[in-house]
Amino acid sequence: MPAHLIDGNLLSKQLRANVATRAAALTALGKRPGLAVILVGDSSASQVYVRNKVKACEDNGLHSVLEKYDANLTEVALLARIDALNQDPHIHGILVQLPLPAHINAHKVIEAIAAAKDVDGFHVSNAGLLMTGNPLFRPCTPYGVMKMLESIDYPVRGAHAVIVGASNIVGKPQSMLLLQAGATVTICNSKTRDLGHHTRHADILVVATGKRNIVTADMVKPGAVVIDVGMNRDDSGKLCGDVDFANVKEVAGYITPVPGGVGPMTITMLLVNTIEAAERN
């Protein structure tokens, strides 16, 4: 029997309705939640991402500011802008769209964002809080994956979760969230020997590599939950994930589609983090 789809658009709709209610309550108190999004350069993919984030804010009652800068903006000028936003009482969340141009040190820029406004959860103090089990902000993509598991009432406690990909923005924070939820976690990277040996033992398989078709049907345990974080283009230019969806869906118990899976959840959890920041404030 083909896998059940975990519909990220549908789940997002439900979660965004809750965001809109909370945003309206804060606005009624004169504390409308605000997100600043900074884009440096003219990458077309980044332009789409920031446009979607700003639109999601507008659609759900949050105040948003999109600041677009030329690719030759200096690091000093960007740090000064972040400093001003850190002080701005109308802004509760600050997001700098990555990647930044090569002459700007992304690490330095992220560290300049006030930890209490770091709604992406990438600041080292937020990474440390997550690691020690007391997160202030959960990074949006892994947080969205946890909500997807929650939506199917999946018993994460005691399950074996295998994460393919170990980046700071997806794989590593995902491993922490799953570990804290009681899973036994295996993290794979590009040096992992015999990837299939690991993935075949997964009750929950999260794939985030940016490598199309890296997970095929023979690498999946029957009935497993397969969460595809990847965003790639197929030969005809269509958006696709890291998982061979057509064949894996015949083996898995649950699967997320691309598009319409983790992507919308990432934006939804950015809204949730911004609301949480404004409520704390």
Provide the minimum distance between the beta carbon of 64 and ligand NAP in the complex, in angstroms, as a whole number: 18
Provide the minimum distance between the beta carbon of 136 and ligand NAP in the complex, in angstroms, as a whole number: 20
267 exposure class (CB count in 10 Å sphere: 0-12, 13-18, 19+): buried
Catalytic residue list: 53, 97, 120
Cα dihedral 110, 242, 10, 149 sign = negative
Taking CB under 6 A as the binding criterion, the range among 109-117, 153-161, 248-256, 258-266 that sits at the site for ligand NAP is 258-266
166 annotated as belonging to a binding site for a ligand: yes
Contact 248, 220 (CB under 8 A): yes
Pick the binder of ligand NAP from 60, 97, 266, 268 (CB under 6 A): 266
Total residues at interface with ligand NAP (CB under 6 A) = 26
Task: Report 82-121 residues binding ligand NAP (CB under 6 A).
Answer: none
Alpha helices in the chain (DSSP H): 8-28, 44-59, 75-87, 106-112, 124-131, 140-151, 171-180, 195-199, 245-248, 262-280
77 annotated as belonging to a binding site for a ligand: no
Task: Report 152-211 residues binding ligand NAP (CB under 6 A).
Answer: 164-167, 169-171, 188-192, 195, 208-211
Q: How far apart are CA 255 and CA 202, in angstroms?
A: 13
Residue ranges in contact with ligand NAP by CB under 6 A:
141, 164-167, 169-171, 188-192, 195, 208-211, 214, 229-232, 262-263, 266
Annotated binding site for NADP(+): 165-167
